[in-house]
Amino acid sequence: MTGIDAELADEQHVVDRLYGRLDDLRAETRSRLADVRRQGPSGSPQNRSERDAFATLYENRVAQLEAVEERLVFGRLDLTDGSRRYIGRLGLTDEERTSLLTDWRAPAAQAFYRATAAHPDDVVRRRHVVTRGRTVTGVEDELLDLDSATDVGMLTGEGALLATLAEGRTGRMGDIVATIQAEQDAIIRSELGGALVVQGGPGTGKTAVALHRAAYLLYAHRRTLERSGVLLVGPSRTFLRYIDQVLPSLGETGVVTSTVAELVPGVEAIGSEPDEVAEIKGRALWADLIARAVRQRERVPAEPVRVRVDGRTVVVRPGDVASAIARARRNHRPHNLARVAFVRDMLGRLAEQYVRQLAFDVPPDERGEIVEDLRSHRDIRVALNLAWMPLTPQKLLADLYAKPWRLEAAAPDLTPRERELLRRDPDAPFTPADVPLLDEAAELLGEDDQAQRAQAKADADRRASELEYARQVLQQTGSAPYVSAEMLADRFAGTGPTLTTAERAASDRTWTYGHVVVDEAQELSPMAWRALLRRVPTRSLTIVGDVAQTTASAGARSWRAQLDPLLRSSWRLAELTVNYRTPATVAETARRVAVAAGLPVSPLTSARDVPDALVTERVPADAVVAAAVRRASKAVDEVRDESGAGRVAVIAVRASLDAIDAALREDGLVAARAGTGVVDLDASLVLLAPDEAKGLEFDAVVLLEPADVLAGGAGDLYVAMTRPTHALHVLHAAPLPDGWAA
C-alpha cells in the first residue's frame, strides 16, 4: 500500500465507525418510535397526548439522523497534544459518551475553519476528508506550522473547495459546511445580539453564510430561539425554493421562510405594477400617510343628527362627538379598539339625553337596557359609524387608492401625478408593495378583539398547567437535551392541531421572532423595513446583500442611508470579498461595467477562473433571438452531465422574453419561466428577466443585449452577468456597454 492508500484506508476505518454509530442511533430511535406507536389509541387523554409528544420527538430525531447521511464527516484536526478531532454535520458520541464526531457548530470545531499558520490555535494539521456516499475518496492536508513546506494560501482546503465549485449545478443550493472559509466563519459565528450587515459582491457566499448562520444560531442559542423562532426573508418564492434544502441538510427544519409579500397572513399579493408605482409605495412617508388616513376615519359630523327613539328625540351633536373622539384617542389604542371607548362614551351621552325626557330618573348604573336599545338603533349605528368607522387594513388601503379625495386628504406630500399613478379599482388585487402598507394599517387599526381576549385568557390558563406537566415529564424521562418544556407542552396541547413554533409564527401577523435573517436586503423599501423590524423588537438581525446589485427603485444604494434612520447607527458591518461563483474573467468584466455605470461595487477577488468563460458574439439586430436559441441549445448539451446536473439560463429584458420563448419552442426547447409564479428550478433551461435571476446561479448563462439590460438599470446588468459558474455567452447587436473591454 502506498502512503496515500494507507491514509485513505485509515480514514475509511474511522468513517465506517461513524456511519455504524449513526445507523445504531437511527435503529434505536426508530425502535423507540415503534414502541410508542404500538401502544395504540387507548389510555387517558393525558397518556395519549404524552405518547403523541414522544412520537413527534422521535420522528424529528429520525428525520435529523436521516438528513446527515451525505458527508457525515468531512474534517479532521490533529492537535498539538497528539489528539485528533473529527468534524461533521452533527455531534456523535459512543455508548460511553466519548466524543466520536464534533458538530461543525461547536466551539471545538471552530479551528477547522479559522486556524492559520500564523494563528494555529493548537492545530498542527487540518485535513479535509472527501467522501462519496460512505466511501473515502480523498484527503487533503494543510500543515499549520510556519516552518513546514506547505504554504497555506488564501483559501482553506483549496482542493476540496475548488472541486465543489466546479461541480454542475442542480437548480438547488447545497450546503458548504465542509469548506466554509475563515471570513465566512467569522460572520456565521458572530454573536446573536444586534444587527449584523453582511455586504459582499456577487458570489461571495452571502446567501450560504446567512443560512449557515441561521443553523449556527439555532444550535448555539437553542433555548432562546426554539420558542421565538427564526424568520428568513428572501426576494421571491423561486429564491426560497432554490435554498430550501440547505437548512434541512444541516438538520434544521424550524425556520420560517417568507418573502415580504407574504408577511401578512391572509393577504395574497398577486397583483403586479410598474416599478415606479412600487417605489412610491415603498417611501417612508406612508407611515404618516396611513396614520393620517386612519385619523380621518374619526370624524366630527358637520351637522347634528336627530334620531327618534321610542317617541323621544336624541341628538348626535358635533360637540359631543368631538369630545368623545378626543377622549377615546387619549389612551393611544388602535382605531378599532379605541372605537369601543368612543361608542360607549357616545351611548352614555345619548342615554343621558333620553333619560332627561322621562318623567322619572334612571341612575347611570341602571341604564344598561336603554344603552342597548340605543346601540341597536339603525340610525344611531349609522351616525356613530360615520364618526368612527370600524375598518380592515384592506378596506382602508383600497379606499385610498380608489377614492382620489381620500388620498389627497391623507397624502399632501405626494404630487398629483404620483397620486394618479396610485389610482386603481377598489377590487384590484394587492401587489407585493402593498403588503408593508397593509401591515402598517393593521398595526394602527388593531382588531376588535373582545372575544379574542377572553379566549386568550382561557388559553393562557390552560397553557400554564400544560407547561407544569411537561416540566415534570422532562424531569422523569431525562429528554431535556432534545426538547424544551415549551415544545413538549405544545405537543401535549390535546385540543386542536399540535403546531410547531414555526407553524404558529407563520400564521400570526403579530408574532415576534428571536432572530430575523434578510437576504437580498438591498431590495427592501423603507416601508418593508418597518414591517420587518416590527417582527423583531430585539433588533437581532442578519442583513445580507449587495448595494451594487439593487434592482428595485425603492431599494438601497447605501446601507447607511437605508439603515441609519431605522436602526440609529446601531448596526455592525462585515464584508465578504472572495467570489466563489463566477469565473474571474466574467467577474472582472462585470465589475468594470458596474464601475463605469457608477455602482458602489465592493472589492472582489475571484477564487478561480475557467478557460473561455466569457464569449461575446455580435450579430445583426434581427438575428439576436435566433442566435440565442442556437446558443442555449448548445449550452444545455455542454453542461448536462449523466447525474442530471447542469443548468442554463437565458437572461434578457422582460420585453423580449415572449419572443425568445416562442423561438425556443419552435426549436423544440422548453424553458421554464417565472411569469407570476415560481420558476421550475429542476428544468435544465430557464428564461428570466434580470431581476428574476437575483440570487440564483447556473452553469452557463446566455445574455442578450447587455445595452438593453443596462438601460433598465445598472444593477440589473450586474446581477445578470454574475449568475454563471462556468460560462457567460453574450449576444448583442448594439455596442457593448462602457467598461466592457479591459
Ligand X SMILES: Nc1ncnc2c1ncn2[C@@H]1O[C@H](COP(=O)(O)OP(=O)(O)OP(=O)(O)O)[C@@H](O)[C@H]1O
Instruction: Determine the residue type at 397.
Output: L
Least distance (Å) between residue 522 CB and ligand X: 9
Is residue 161 involved in binding ligand X (CB under 6 A)? yes
Position 202 contacts ligand X (CB under 6 A): yes
Q: Which of residues 412-451 bind ligand X (CB under 6 A)?
A: none
Q: Which of 12, 99, 116, 164 binds ligand X (CB under 6 A)?
A: 164
29 binds ligand X (CB under 6 A): no
The answer to whether 580 contacts ligand X (rule: CB under 6 A) is yes
Contacts of 332 (CB under 8 A, 6+ apart): none
Nearer to ligand X, 166 or 454 (CB): 166
Q: Which is nearer to ligand X, 71 or 317 (CB)?
A: 71
Smallest distance, Å, CB 256 to ligand X?
A: 20
Q: Is 690 in the site for ligand X (CB under 6 A)?
A: no
Amino acid at 620: P
Nearest distance from residue 645's CB to ligand X, in Å? 12
For residue 201, say whether it is annotated as part of any ligand binding site: yes
Return the number of the residue (76 or 726) whose C-beta is nearest ligand X.
Answer: 726
Q: Which of 690, 695, 713, 715 contacts ligand X by CB under 6 A?
A: 695
Grid coordinates in use for 15? 468513517
Q: According to CB under 6 A, which residues from 234 to 263 bind ligand X?
A: none
Residue spans of alpha helices (H) in 478-609: 485-492, 501-506, 526-534, 559-567, 584-596
Residue 203 labeled ligand binder: yes
Instruction: Report in angstroms how near the CB of residue 201 gets to ligand X at its nearest.
Output: 7
Q: Which of 538, 554, 558, 535 is nearest to 546 (CA)?
A: 558
206 is in an annotated binding site: yes
Is 426 within any annotated ligand binding site? no
Q: How far is the CB of 173 from ligand X (least distance, A)?
A: 6
Compute the least distance from the CB of residue 165 to ligand X, in Å. 6
Reported as half-sphere exposure (CB side, CA atoms, 13 A), residue 565 has a value of 12
Distance, CA of 348 to chain centre:
49
DSSP letter assigned to residue 89? S
Binding span for ligand X by CB under 6 A among 158-166, 413-421, 478-486, 656-664? 158-166
- The residue number with the shortest CB distance to ligand X is 205
Pair 351, 374: CB distance under 8 Å:
yes
Beta-carbon contacts of residue 430 (< 8 Å; ≥ 6 apart): 267, 268, 269, 270, 271, 394, 397, 438
**Cα separation, 126 vs 156, whole angstroms:** 9
Residue 207 interacts with ligand X (CB under 6 A)?
Answer: yes
Residues numbered 168-187 forming contacts with ligand X, rule: CB under 6 A = 176, 179-181, 184
Contact of 379 with 313, CB cutoff 8 Å: no
Q: Is 208 in the site for ligand X (CB under 6 A)?
A: yes
Residue among 155, 107, 157, 103 at smallest CA distance from 128? 157
Under rule CB under 6 A, how many of the chain's residues touch ligand X? Answer: 23
Check the annotation: does 229 bind a ligand: no
Nearer to ligand X, 152 or 627 (CB): 152
- If the CB atoms of residues 200 and 715 are measured against ligand X, the closer one turns out to be 200
- 200 lies in the site for ligand X, by CB under 6 A: yes
Residue 207 assigned to a binding site: yes
- Of 60, 199, 259, 722, which lies in the binding site for ligand X, with binding defined by CB under 6 A? 722
Helices (H), ranges, 127-205: 158-166, 182-188
Residue burial 172-208, b: 16+ Cβ < 10 Å; e: rest: ebbbbbbbbbebbbebbbbebeebbbbbbbbbbbbbb
Work out whether strand 230-233 and strand 195-200 pair parallel, antiparallel, or are unpaired. unpaired
Inter-CA distances, 544 with 220, 282, 518, 549, 573, Å: 20, 19, 6, 12, 10
3 state SS of 26: helix
Query: Nearest distance from residue 289's CB to ligand X, in Å?
Result: 33
CB-wise, 484 or 522, nearer to ligand X? 522
Smallest distance, Å, CB 65 to ligand X? 24
The CA-atom distances, in angstroms, between 246 and each of 17, 42, 208, 223, 475 are 26, 39, 8, 22, 34
Using the contact rule CB under 6 A, the part of the chain among 46-54, 201-209, 436-444, 463-471 near ligand X is 201-209
- Which residues make Cβ contacts (< 8 Å) with residue 23, sequence separation at least 6? none
Q: Is 581 in the site for ligand X (CB under 6 A)?
A: yes
Binding-site member from 110, 204, 500, 656 for ligand X (CB under 6 A): 204
Interface residue with ligand X among 183, 466, 697, 705 (CB under 6 A) is 697
- In this structure, the strands spanning 305-309 and 312-316 are antiparallel
Interface with ligand X by CB under 6 A: which residues? 161, 164-165, 176, 179-181, 184, 200, 202-208, 546, 549, 580-581, 695, 697, 722
Task: Write out the binding residues for ATP.
Answer: 200-207
